[in-house]
């Protein structure tokens, strides 16, 4: 595995972990926080998708 | 709840949000890159720092540099990262990280880290343990206890060794008090019960579980929930009982006698024995798997006679707040020469006796009267039958004789240049006896003393 792929995988793991933690926290958020959290979660999901595309390209 | 100043180095916005929410009860300062982090760590005052290592796509673990800066400022640095490379984990610890957690379990991990930090800080803030809770001026003993106190706020089991009266129970209490555990300190002397009674005492029982059980009773294991269970003289427990206890320790649950419903108890084990555990295992008196479960950190408390400086120190401590006695030089010398087979417990009793006496100024005659018929250790040249006798009183005749055999064999080996066959011939001993002695000597060297 190349160093780039390794870093991409690290990035994917990291963002997935953040998504998991955010999902656990979501139910306890106020409605205002929920909106903010959803926006951040959506952005993280998009970044995961981008990282996966980059990983596929590198493969 | 202690409000802490917490620093977080995290580049990911979602992870920042998660950490800020999890740490909402504290003062949190966030940094998203290394430059800001170093600046904040230079000027700010933080109790704990949470550090991500890879700051942005393609970053080369620059978060490691912030760990070194935080550790230099005394910040309790914790890595929360998705990195799982051994090399990176080792590097983080080398740079001063105190803990390393995988990202993604912040709900439990963050609470655990904060609790651990608060417990450790309380332990460090506690009053000087050697001034009151466990009085000793003996440097090796202090060093050993200081080392054990580091483990007080952890789950690690602690095994206390040492002759009777050396303060094993007192030390167990000190360790519990500094553990930060919310439950009680529950002590039980295993030698004071028969196997059936010990089982009922430890596990409890339901009404009607056995003849005479008119009412149910909560066992010590349950009483020690979230606290400390101190098992004194654990070596006297039957093998069957040891097996049941081992199961309860491993599963953290047990069945009270006569009950079909298991009870759960999260107790921490501190155990003590005045016998050599390796010897107990060799003699089939102690299960090896139980020993493995209870000896995470071992403290070997030396007899009082081996730390003569403590005799005067402890005597003064026992007189605090009560009648202050004064000893003549001869009386003090006699006390220092005495072997104290009952150790600190005997000294306490001795001071109590003198305190209730007629004279405030204590002379040799009074001291000699109370210590009558007992060996004067150094007056006998630090050896001979007197020492063996005190040792036998403290640890039992078999252990005392083993020690004599070990000393004779060690001397012979030194004189024969380590030629074992010559030692066996000259001392007229069997191979079995020689190797048993060598094993004991080897084990003795491996113990913390």
pLDDT under 50 in chain B at which residues? 127, 378-382, 445-449
Nearest CB neighbour to B17, from listed A4, A10, A37: A37
Quote the CA–CA distance of A6 and A11 in Å, as a whole number: 9
d(CA B340, CA B173): 23
Contact B213, B201 (CB under 8 A): no
Chain A residues touching B32 at Cβ < 8 A: none
Contact across the interface for B107 and A4, Cβ inside 8 Å: no
From the list B191, B194, B198, B202, the residue with the least C-alpha distance to B168 is B191
* pLDDT given at position B237: 92
Runs of H (alpha helix) within B300-419: 309-319, 329-337, 343-355, 364-370, 384-395, 397-415
Does the ipTM surpass 0.90? no
- b/e B224-262 (16+ beta carbons within 10 angstroms → b): bbebbbbbbbbbbbeeebbebbbebbeeeebbbbeeeee
- For tokens 């050697």, what's the residue? B130
Q: What is the pLDDT of residues A19-28, one digit of tens each?
A: 999 999 898 8
- Picking from A11, A18, A43, the nearest residue to B18 by CB comes out as A18
Among chain B residues, the shortest Cα distance to A40 is held by B14
Q: What is the pLDDT of residues A35-46, one digit of tens each?
A: 999 999 999 999
Nearest to B167 by CA among B313, B31, B1: B313
What distance in Å separates the CA atoms of residue B153 and residue B187, rounded to the nearest whole number?
A: 18
**Any A CB within 8 A of B13 CB:** yes
d(CA B186, CA B179): 14
**pTM over cut 0.90:** no
Contacts of B57 in chain A (CB under 8 A): 7-8, 11, 51
Burial class (CB in 10 A: 0-12, 13-18, 19+), A50: middle
Indicate the average pLDDT of chain B.
86
* Inter-CA distances, B375 with B151, B352, B402, Å: 38, 21, 20
Nearest CA to CA, how far is B213 from chain A (Å)? 48
Q: Write down the pLDDT at residue B379.
A: 41
Find where tokens 């916005």 sit.
B13
The domains spanning B129-300 and B304-370 adopt the same CATH topology: no
Nearest residue to B66 (alpha-carbon basis) of B13, B4, B9:
B9
pLDDT tens for B365-408 read: 888 888 875 555 544 444 567 677 777 777 788 888 888 888 78
Q: Which residues on neighbouring strands pair with residue B205, listed in sequence order?
A: B217, B257
Residues 6+ apart with CB under 8 A from B299: B144, B145, B148, B158, B159, B160, B161, B162, B171, B448
User: In the CATH hierarchy, which fold is given to the domain comprising B5-123?
Assistant: Rossmann fold (3.40.50)
Q: Going by C-beta distance under 8 Å and a sequence separation of 6 or more, which residues neighbour residue B81?
A: A14, B51, B52, B53, B54, B63, B88, B100, B101, B102, B103
With CB atoms and an 8 Å threshold, state whether B107 touches A21.
Answer: yes
Exposed/middle/buried for residue B427 (C-beta within 10 Å: 0-12, 13-18, 19+): middle
- Give contacts of A17 with chain B, Cβ < 8 Å: 15, 82, 102-104
Question: Would you call A34 an interface residue with chain B, using a CB distance cutoff of 8 Å?
Answer: no
Q: What angle do CA B146, B149, B152 make, to 5 degrees?
A: 175
User: Any CB–CB contact under 8 A between A16 and chain B?
Assistant: yes
B304-370 has CATH 3.30.70.1170 classification: no
Chain B residues within an 8 Å CB radius of A13 = 82, 103
Contact with chain A for residue B14, Cβ under 8 A:
yes
Q: Which tokens sit at B95?
A: 């740079």
Domain B129-300 grouped into CATH 3.30.530.20: no
Domain boundaries, chain B: 5-123, 129-300, 304-370, 397-446
Strand ranges in B246-317 using DSSP code E only, listed in sequence order = 253-254, 263-264, 268-273, 297-300
Select the residue of B17, B58, B81 nearest A7 (Cβ to Cβ): B58
Looking at the complex, does the CB of residue B58 fall below 8 Å from at least one CB of chain A?
yes
């Amino acid at each position: 595995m190349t160093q780039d792929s390794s870093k991409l995988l690290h990035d994917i793991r990291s963002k997935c972990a953040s998504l998991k933690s955010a999902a656990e926290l979501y139910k306890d958020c106020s409605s205002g926080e929920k909106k903010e959290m959803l926006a951040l979660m959506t952005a993280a999901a998009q970044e995961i998708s981008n990282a996966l595309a980059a990983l596929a390209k590198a493969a | 709840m202690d409000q802490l100043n917490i620093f977080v180095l995290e580049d990911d916005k979602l992870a920042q949000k998660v950490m800020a929410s999890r740490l909402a009860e504290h003062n949190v300062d966030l940094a998203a890159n290394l430059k800001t982090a170093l600046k904040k760590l230079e000027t700010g005052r933080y109790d704990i720092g949470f550090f991500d290592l890879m700051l942005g796509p393609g970053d080369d673990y620059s978060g490691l540099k912030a760990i070194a800066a935080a550790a230099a400022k005394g910040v309790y640095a914790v890595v929360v990262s998705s990195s799982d490379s051994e090399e990176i984990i080792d590097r983080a610890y080398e740079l001063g990280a105190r803990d390393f957690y995988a990202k993604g379990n912040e709900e439990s991990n963050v609470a655990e880290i904060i609790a651990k930090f608060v417990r450790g800080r309380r332990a460090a803030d506690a009053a000087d343990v050697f001034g009151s809770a466990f009085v000793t001026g003996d440097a090796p003993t202090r060093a050993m206890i200081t080392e054990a106190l580091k483990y007080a706020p952890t789950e690690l089991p602690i095994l206390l060794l040492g002759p009777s009266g050396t303060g094993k129970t007192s030390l167990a209490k000190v360790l519990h008090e500094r553990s930060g555990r919310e439950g009680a300190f529950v002590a039980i002397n295993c030698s004071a019960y028969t196997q059936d009674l010990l089982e009922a005492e430890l596990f409890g029982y339901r009404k009607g579980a056995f003849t005479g059980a008119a009412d149910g009773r909560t066992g010590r294991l349950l009483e020690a929930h979230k606290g400390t269970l101190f098992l004194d003289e654990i070596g006297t427990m039957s093998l069957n009982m040891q097996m049941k206890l081992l199961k309860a320790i491993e599963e953290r649950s047990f069945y009270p006698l006569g009950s079909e419903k298991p009870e759960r108890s999260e107790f921490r084990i501190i155990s003590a024995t005045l016998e050599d555990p390796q010897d107990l295992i060799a003699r089939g008196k102690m299960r090896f798997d139980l020993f493995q479960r209870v000896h995470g950190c071992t403290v070997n408390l030396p007899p009082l006679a081996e730390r003569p400086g403590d005799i005067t120190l402890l005597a003064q401590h026992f007189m605090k707040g009560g009648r202050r006695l004064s000893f003549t030089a001869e009386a003090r010398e006699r006390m220092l020469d005495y072997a104290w087979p009952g150790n600190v417990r005997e000294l306490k009793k001795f001071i109590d006796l003198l305190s209730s006496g007629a004279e405030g100024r204590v002379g040799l005659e009074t001291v000699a009267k109370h210590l009558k018929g007992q060996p004067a250790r150094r007056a006998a040249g630090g050896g001979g039958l007197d020492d063996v006798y005190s040792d036998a009183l403290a640890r039992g005749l078999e252990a005392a004789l083993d020690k004599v055999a070990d000393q004779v064999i060690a001397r012979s080996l030194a004189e024969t240049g380590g030629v074992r066959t010559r030692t066996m011939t000259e001392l007229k001993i069997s191979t079995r006896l020689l190797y048993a002695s060598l094993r004991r000597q080897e084990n003795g060297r491996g113990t913390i003393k």
